[in-house]
Amino acid sequence: MRISISSFHFPKNAQIFKIKTPLSKTAVEKIFIECSKNKTSNFIIDEVKTSLNINGNTLIYSCKAFALEQEPSFLLNTKVKETKYAFLLLIEYNNYLFVFKRNIDSFQSKIQLYIEPIEYGKFTSLKAKPNAKYERISMKSMTVSDMQIRNRSFEGRNIDGILPTNSASRSIPNNFRLNVDGEIYLINPNTSRLALRSQKSSLDDLAEWCLLLTQELNSITPATINSFIKSFAAPIKLEQIKSTCSPTAILFHLEELDINLRDSSSPYKLISKENQTEVEIKEDKELNNFFELFRSPLNLRKIPKSDVFSIILKGQDGLGEIKLNKIQITFKSKVGENILIKTPTETISLSKFINSQKNFSVVFDTPNYMYVSRYTFKDKQLLNNIEGMMSVFDDSMDFSDVVSEKEKPFGDNTITEFPDKSLFYAVENNFIKKDEIVICDDMGNEWADHIIFSTELGQPTISFIHSKYTSKDTYGASSFHEVVSQALKNLGRLNSELSEYKKKYDNKWKNNYESTSIKRIRTNNNWSDIKKAYNKVNSTPNSNRKVILATPFFSKSKLKDKLEKIANGTSKNSHHIQIIWLINSFISSCRDYNVQPHILCKK
């Protein structure tokens, strides 16, 4: 049975690409064959490379539709099948390809030889008229750190102008929802998708929409890119940096696949291919072990005289490798070829799945660059803001007598103070005043090493202090990473409910520190005092929240000199680059929580 294409009404939901290699009729037929392997009927529409005239412009369309059978999503491992219909419509015009589809999986892997993504700045500026209202935006942070928020979303009537911009230069928009003169557009640059909420359209209406989008894309120049978009990380070409920068770590984003595999109604299956035998990975423990490999960043090692970098897992090569091409980064893995993802319409290797989805991020040895999905980005402000970074460092505290963190006073039940040459003693001696409550929360389920309430002088303030001591000054990243990680992990605790503080008091603070006579509440206050201070901080609109790092292993002047050498390009010390990332992560995360960041150090 054949149906006229005039009977079809399509949603205005397109993936848009640039055509890099002309699509011949043979190539299009091959793509359709790949996409329809599981069809259970003849094509009900079968048109390839057909001309269509719209307002004097000639567009080329190709469309096929067919039936396929799948097990209903609410059943598992039965022989029950339901009939669904799939279609794939390709519209070509002026070197752009518009793709409309339904029930077609992994389309991009089948056509990637012929297409490339549209420039990020152009794509994200589609429909960004001066009167456009940005109702929702989700974004990734330029980080692969386990200790920083990687994804955030904001929603409002129009968030342009009210969105916090303090960390915008290190944020990469994932998708937008725009309201333009009452029309709602959804834009996702990572998938090259633009959708308009509207009634479904005939082929002619859809082709006219594609024509208008082409004209709009061709009219966008760097000078006309929307100012709201410009406030975020700037897109650049990978080829501009690959000769001067090297990738250092990769993070895979397989969370959606993980969710699909665990959903009892999902048809997705994960298969391990071993000695020609296929074994399904389906138990929670097996899935946990598999996805655990991808939840943290993996280091990269350059293969000499190439643009290829090996992925290091537990100190060893073998998981796979990435290659830096002109525009995009590709992933290759022998292990990944033996892991299969099965859907109702196809079976695809993990390697092919990752390359088609581009669901990974890569960071470089120059800290202001990052590759995300299929685009490369630059933080325009990071290396221009060393002075701003250093402003959070405070070198006024005297650490000259400090020779340990707390000198392990455990077991001596007679001592009432931390040893006078310990960092804990120095911190307490600096902050204990008549108007302040100082609490030692170290050990166990700690929020900070010290928690301080200051409510009598100036603005009411609560501070979390995290301390780290090393026997020698160090400008490596590991010690600083430890204290920053602890601070960021507990940022949200600054806004904990009073009941959480009461639990802390009852279970920990009213007791002595470990096996000593050191009172945890260092200023001899009781629960009534803490409750009063807590309420004053939380009832005062202009109260302060602070996170303070006590790091006497840094000299402010020496650190500034090292970071300035990174900024001016005279050094590429990987440890100092990581310190820049850590400082920036600390500052940005604190600002996102409306918390003041401070770092105590030596002169």
Convert the pLDDT of each residue in 570-579 to its tens digit: 887 777 887 8
Strands annotated E in 94-237: 96-102, 115-116, 133-141, 151-155, 171-180, 183-188, 193-196, 234-236
The band of 164, judged by pLDDT with boundaries at 50, 70 and 90, is: low
Would you say residue 185 has pLDDT above 80? yes
Q: Which two tokens stand for residue 232?
A: 């975020």
Token pair belonging to 7:
């009977």
pLDDT classification of 165: cutoffs 50, 70, 90: low
Interstrand relation of 193-196 and 96-102 (parallel, antiparallel or unpaired): unpaired
Does residue 436 have a pLDDT over 80?
yes
Tens of pLDDT, residue by residue over 114-125, are: 999 998 888 999
Residue that has been written with the tokens 């490369």 in this structure: 376
Q: Centre a 10 Å sphere on the Cβ of residue 337 and count the other Cβ atoms it contains.
A: 14
Q: Give the number of other CB atoms < 10 A from CB of residue 164.
A: 13
Quick: pLDDT tens for 520-533.
999 989 999 999 99
- pLDDT at position 206 is 96
What is the number of other CB atoms lying within 10 angstroms of the CB of residue 113? Answer: 11
pLDDT for the residue numbered 434: 64
Give pLDDT, residue 27.
95
Q: Which residue has the higher pLDDT, 221 or 75?
A: 221
Provide, rounded to the nearest whole percent, the portion of the chain with pLDDT above 70: 97
pLDDT bin (cut points 50, 70, 90) of residue 145 is low
The overall average pLDDT reported for the chain is 89
DSSP 515-554: TSS-BSBTT---HHHHHHHHHHHHH-TT-EEEEEEEEEEE
**At 411, is the pLDDT very low, low, confident or very high (cuts 50, 70, 90)?**
low
pLDDT band at residue 366, thresholds of 50, 70 and 90? confident
CB 597 within 8 Å of CB 590:
yes
| Residues 313/298, Cβ–Cβ less than 8 Å | yes
User: pTM here?
Assistant: 0.72
